[in-house]
Structure 1
Amino acid sequence: MEPVPAHAETPDVSFDGGDLDCGNGLLLLIRKHIDPMAPGQLLEIRSTEISVDEDLPAWCRLTGNDLLSWTKVGRQRSFLITKGRRGADAPARARPAPAMEPRPEPAPAPRVRREVRPVPPLAVTGLGSWPRPRWMLDAMHAFVEGRLDEAAFQETASDAVRLAIAAQERAGVTVVTDGEQRRDSYASFVASRLENCQLIPLTDVLPLVDDPEEFAAELRALDVPAAEVRHPAVFGRLRRVRPLVAHELDFAASVTERPVKVALPGPYLLTRTMWMECLTENAYSSREEIAADIVTVLREEIADLLDGGAALVQLDEPVLSEVVFSGPKSKRSFMCGALSESQGPEHELGFARDLVNAVIAGFPRERIALHMCRGNWTPDESVALAGSYAPLVETLAAMRVGAYLLELCTPRAGEMAVLTALPDDARIGVGVCNQKHPVVETCDCVTARIRDAVGLFGRDRLLLHPDCGFATFADNPLASAAVAEAKLRVIAEAAAAF
């Protein structure tokens, strides 16, 4: 598209991006301005950066927004885009609803040291996420896009948590989670809680990869809803200015008498997700430098969770499987920052081991667990990674956690027996139902899996759970709430026989 002397239409919103390029903050500013706008409204982006001439049209094309026109006078450029598609089927331009008076966020309550409820042998638990009601998803989108204030969002989420915990209790679980109802996904939600980090749709970063069209096609082949999944973008030094998930624990503990487990994205996962050379070069000089701040953030959070009575704090590190199973040609895998650097399995596994141990050093080992799987964004087993735990056992054993919560039901996970090499004093969480399958397993089937695990590890070391969460990504659940409850009930019924 060639520049024009002047835009034919008047923008609804304008901002000046100065000399920022798309990789150094301009995309973050675009997202900040376009999210609250109504479909069909016009956004003007002013820029003096020459690379935007090519990058912005690519961003519009990949994100489903139309570039209507652009002007150029000397170094000053002005781009006029419409939110969404412009055409016969596009919605008419609409003025945004009058802005709400934001309700003040309640002052955080003083931290309460709660009694820790023990986790017995053969305890049954979900991995973390639970399908969100439709009204919860609507509230989540409105909150992320700036159309709903935090207090109203938290009230809505608390109602969804009550439903998720009640379903788990009906199913007979031993250890409950809050279903991650306040999170857009199991990991990227952290960006909305940290200083100098922002959530942007995955499509926003596509223009920054080497071949955006090829990568977009790969995401489609992997069944990834790139326009709906948001990715953390770092634009300054990371700092924990409020709890990441301690508030989730506080509310969950107030509505149940059962032990509560809280999942946190692990330090390697967060480092791989947040370290993107194209977005972080002004804030951090290396991923080791950003990893140090991530370790600090997680240690502060875990201290609060343990003080608050969390029975287990679960660190999610599914990207460990990407390290060893992606193959020599680095087959794409959508489980974390597939856009970030990776220096080969030996280096990456050592880096991950050291990060996990730095995070948990000094904390009670028996209350720290680690979870990993091979991908949980789609019910299509064929696009998820596959491979035995054998190349991972040495690394897992060197992580000084008290429990391993592992995907084992799916044939993609290989044989359970290789896990006997894990430390004898650690508990083993065995996945005994497949959250990807819509059919609920029979009690006999789950009982047989538990019997195999008892034979390998002994009854007292075992914890029981599905292979992974039921709704890792809020907009892309793998099961309905009814199916999720039925699967947990079968595990609880089978466990009762032991």
Structure 2
Amino acid sequence: MVNRPVAIYAHGMTLPTEPIGSIPRPAQVLAASPSELAEAQEQAVRDTIARLEALGSPVVTDGEQSKPSFATYPIAGLANLSPDGVVIPFADGHQRQLPCLTAGPFRYQVNAEKYLRAAQAHASVPVKQAVIAPSALSLLYPSAGIDGYSREAFLDDLVDAAEADIRGCLDAGAHVVQLDFTEGRLSLKLDPSGGVLDDFVAVNNRVLERFSAAERARIGVHTCPGGDQDSTHSLDIDYAGLLPKLFQLKAGNFYLQLASEPDPDKVLAVAADHLPADARIFVGVTDPVDPVVETPEQVRDRVLAAARHLPADRLGTCDDCGFSPFADDTSTSREVAFAKIEARVQGTALAAAALGI
């Protein structure tokens, strides 16, 4: 079945809750041979959606069961890449490395609509779709340039491809399309002047400005300090440097990692000062990096704390990050992920009752 998008949450009517994206892949997917992989992934998508619906999740995702990673799905199979791109260092010492573009033109090989339609075939509730922000893929262009293919030409191609990725999901009935913008906070670690962040915001807005106001109401942006193998890449960077520029993005929803913040009230105060008109803020109430499962009461209290800073009718809840944004990350078990999601769903309902919405 193909789900039609339901009306975007009406202000004052509900306290929405949504997953961010990835769920740890089952062992059958991780161990599957090339000939078995597609079937194992399809079974994992079906199981993920069934379990999310059984937990009462009003919006579901496919858990990114078929993506190689949240960042690289569009370029899987692209021939004009080398492996020696930008290195992303994490606090525990491990690294992830992006590929590097070696020649033009730049083209997506896979669009997220593929994952969305596969999920919709199994879902009976609205499905959201995560896509990679074009700012992350802008890092593929080498600092030394490419002969015969300027950075400007690359960005033109990237913006066209990112627009098509988002639009395909909207047209296919995605409840919301979420841009993963984990590189936003990281950029302030790599460039404390904020110049790289300004470039990221500019390229993302080049894409977002191509959508109508009604379409942007179904587009969101997720930010976090990265989460991989129970570590992060930029939790030590002050959120206050990111949020004012983050909220310049022309999106209708913002998903903020918050549960793992050492001083969430400080973050919420900054968010309140820069809250865009008509935007909804989804606050993170579960921490995928922490193995301890939150209680519904802890989730409730985190929502009520957020409601002291932000209008309750413009609040929602989410997980801080995806639970396994890279397919090979097994640091969090599938069972723990679903337990945290259950706590988020139940705790959000408790908070809604306490707030009278």
TM-score range, shorter chain: 0.7 to 0.9
Query: Is 1:419 the equivalent of 2:284?
Result: no
- Is 1:276 the counterpart of 2:142? The answer is yes
Is residue 318 from structure 1 mapped to residue 182 from structure 2 by the alignment? Answer: yes
Give the corresponding residue for 2:203. 355
Unaligned 5+ runs, structure 2: 353-357
Q: Say if 1:393 and 1:422, in contact at 8 Å, map to a contact too.
A: no
Task: Please show how residues 233-252 of structure 1 align to structure 2 within 5 Å.
Answer: 233-240=100-107, 243-252=110-119
Counterpart mapping for 1:176-255 below 5 A: 176-192=60-76, 195-198=78-81, 204-205=83-84, 222-224=92-94, 231-240=98-107, 243-255=110-122
| Identical aligned residues as a percent | 30
Contact 2:130 2:177 in 1 (8 A): yes
* Matches of 1:452 and 1:477, distance apart in 2: 32
Contact 1:431–1:464 under 8 Å retained in 2: yes
Change (3 A) 1:434 1:464: same
Deviation at 1:114, TM superposition (A): 5.5
Corresponding pairs, count: 341
Q: Give the counterpart letter for 1:411 in structure 2.
A: E
**1:257 aligns to 2:124 (yes or no):** yes
- Which amino acid counterpart does residue 149 of structure 2 have in structure 1? Y
Query: 1:283 offset after TM fit, Å?
Result: 6.1
Letter in 2 for 1:115: R
Instruction: Within 5 Å, give how 1:325-474 maps onto structure 2.
Output: 326=189, 330=190, 345-363=193-211, 364-380=215-231, 384-412=234-262, 414=264, 415=266, 416-420=268-272, 421-474=274-327
What is the root-mean-square deviation of aligned Cα atoms in Å?
2.6
TM-fit CA distance, 1:290:
2.1
CA deviations 1:348-370 (Å, max 9, x no partner) are 22211221111122421110100
Equivalent position of 2:6 in the other structure: 117
- For 1:45, the equivalent position in structure 2 comes to none
- The two structures have a TM-score, normalised by structure 2, of 0.86
SS at match of 2:65: coil
Take 2:308 and 2:89, find their aligned partners in 1: how far apart are those partners? 41
Structure of higher CA gyration radius: 1
User: TM-score scaled by structure 1?
Assistant: 0.63
- What CA distance in whole angstroms lies between the structure 1 residues aligned with 2:105 and 2:111? 13
**Greater RCO, 1 or 2 (C-alpha within 8 Å, sep 6+):** 2
How far does residue 406 in structure 1 lie from its aligned partner after superposition? 0.7
Aligned partner of residue 104 in structure 2, secondary structure: strand
Whole-Å separation in 1 of the counterparts to 2:251 and 2:342: 28
Match of 1:489 among 322, 336, 342: 342
2:21 is aligned, of 119, 124, 128, to 128
- Flag the 1:404–1:314 CA change in 2: closer, same or farther, 3 A: same
Q: Is the Cα–Cα contact under 8 Å of residues 434 and 466 in structure 1 kept in the other structure?
A: yes
Alpha carbons 1:265, 1:317 under 8 Å: kept? yes
Encode CA deviations 1:420-448: one digit per residue, 9 max, x unaligned. Answer: 12213100010011111111112221111
Change (3 A) 1:251 1:133: same
Contact kept? 1:386, 1:413, Cα under 8 Å? no
